[in-house]
Amino acid sequence: MSKTGLFSEFPGVSAKQWKQKIQVDLKGADYNDTLVWESLEGINVKPFYNQEDLNTIPTFSLPKNHDWSVAQTIYVGDEKKSNTKALTILEKGVESLIFTIPNDTTDFEALLSGLDMEKIELNFYFEFLSVEPIKKLVSLLRSKKAKAHLNIDIIGHLTEDGNWHHHLEEDHKIFTELVSLGTSDISIIGVDASRYQNAGANMVQQLAYSLAHANEYLNHIVTTSAVENSFPVTFKIAVGSNYFFEIAKIRALRWLWKSLASAYGIETECNILAVPSKRNKTLYDYNVNMLRTTSESMSAVLGGADAVCNLAYDAIYHKDNEFGERIARNQLLLLKEEGYFSRASQMAEGAYYIESLTHQLAEKALALFKQIEKAGGFLEGLKKGTIQQKIKESAEKEQQLFDEGKIVSLGTNKYLNPQDRMKEDLELYPFVKQKARKTIIVPIIEKRLAEASEQKRLNDE
C-alpha cells in the first residue's frame, strides 16, 4: 500500500530482495513456473507487488466523495403495481430504481406517482424506440427535478437482437432527436456492456468493446449542439468472480472513458451501473450463487461503481419473487450498512496489485480499441462478424478451462451433490434459446458456463 509512515522505523525491502528470498524458499523450483500465472487477458500475475511496480506507471483516482447506491430492478408490466413495489422497496433501503419499460403506452405519471425524485436516482431501460413517449417522460422528470439515466442504446439492441429497432437510418434519426433532450440531470445515452461479459468476452475485450461502443455514439453526435447535454454516458457492466481483476476492470473503464471523452472536449464523468454476472451462476447448488453475488458486489463497490444492482440467487430459473429479491437487496444493505462499504471505493487506491492491474487492463484495452477503430469502428466489426468471433474464441477458451475443472464451480464441476433435483423447480428455461430468424448481424448470445453439464444432469434425473 502507499506510504503512511506507520512502518517508517523498519527498513524498506526491495523487489529484488523479496524475489531472492522467495527463490531460496522454493528450494530450486522455478519461480515463474511455480508462482506466476497468466490470466485469460494475457496478464502475468506475480506473487507479490510493491512500490516499485508503481514507479513507472500512472495511477488512477476516483472523484472525491465518490459513493454508491443500492439499486433494484422493476419490470413495468402494470404501472400501479410497479409504483406500489417502488414505494415499498424504497422504504426497505433501495436508493436507485431501475425500470424496464416494455412498450410505448406506459403511463409514467402513474408509475412515478408519490416518488420523491429529488432524493433517489432513476434508470430506465426501454424495449422499444420511439420519440413521443420518451419526450413525455423527460418533461415529467424535469418538472420533478429528477436525476435520471434513460440508457438509450440502439447498438446494444442490435447486438442482442441482431436487428435494429426499425432500420439503421430511422434508429439513428430517433437517437439524435432523443439525445437533444438531455440535461445535466437527465442523461440519455447508455452502453450495455454486460452482454459482452455474459457472452464470454475477456476483460480486455469487455473494456475495448465498451469504449468502441461508446465511441460510435460520440462520432454520431459530435457535430450536434446536443453533445454537451447528453452526458454522462451510463455503462451497464457485469461483474464476474475474479475479485481483484474485476475491481481493476471497473477502475480501468472509468479511466478509459476519461481519455476518450477528453478527445471530444467532454469533461463529464461516466456513470457505472454494475450487476453480477450470469455466466458463472448455477442451477444446481443454487445457494452458492449468494456467495458469488456477494463477492461480485464487493468488487463492484471497490471498483467505484455508482450503483450496484444485485442478482437474485434463483434468477436463472425462477420468476421474480419477493424472497429472492429481498435476499439480493439485503446482501447489498449488509455490505453498505454493516460491512462499512458505504464509502469503500477509495480503499483500492494505492494498492500495488490493483493499481498495476488497472494500468495493464487499460493499456491493453486501449490498444485493442485502436485496432477496432483502425479497422473501421465497432459497427463495422459487428457487421463483418469479427467482434462476435473474438468473443466466441474467448468464450470457448474459458469453457474449456471450466470443463477441465481448472475454473472451479462448487456444486457444479466440483463437490457435486448427486442427490440434487431441479427438474420440478424450473419456472424459467435456464439455457440458451435458439431462434432461427433473419438478422443483419450475428447476435451476441449470453451463455452460462454450466449449461451443458446442467442439461445432462436434468436429463439424468
pLDDT at position 347:
87
Residue in this structure with the C-alpha cell 424472497, named with its chain if needed: 323
Mean pLDDT for the chain?
94
- CB within 8 Å of 118: residues ≥ 6 apart: 144, 145, 146, 147
- Give CB contacts under 8 A, 24+ apart, made by 131-140: 131/174, 131/177, 131/178, 132/104, 133/104, 133/105, 133/106, 133/108, 134/178, 134/181, 135/181, 136/108, 137/108, 138/181, 138/186, 140/108, 140/109, 140/112
pLDDT at position 1:
47
Query: Which pTM was predicted?
Result: 0.95
User: Which residues are bridge partners to 190 per DSSP?
Assistant: 234
Q: How far is Cα 421 from Cα 457, in angstroms, rounded to an integer? A: 9
- CB within 8 Å of 459: residues ≥ 6 apart: none
Residue 105 per-residue DSSP state? T
- For the chain, the domains span 69-358
Q: Mean pLDDT throughout 333-348?
A: 89
Locate 194 and state its grid cell. Answer: 454486460
pLDDT at position 4:
59
Does the pLDDT at position 452 exceed 50?
A: yes
Does the pLDDT at position 43 exceed 80?
A: yes
Sign of CA dihedral 276, 137, 68, 290: negative
Q: How many CB atoms lie within 10 A of CB 386?
A: 15
Q: Mean pLDDT throughout 289-308?
A: 97
Nearest to 250 by CA among 239, 266, 261, 234: 239
What is the CATH code of the structural domain delimited by 69-358? 3.20.20.240
Q: Of 15-19, 21-25, 51-55, 372-376, which has the strongest mean pLDDT?
A: 372-376
Q: How far is Cα 200 from Cα 395, in angstroms, rounded to an integer? A: 4
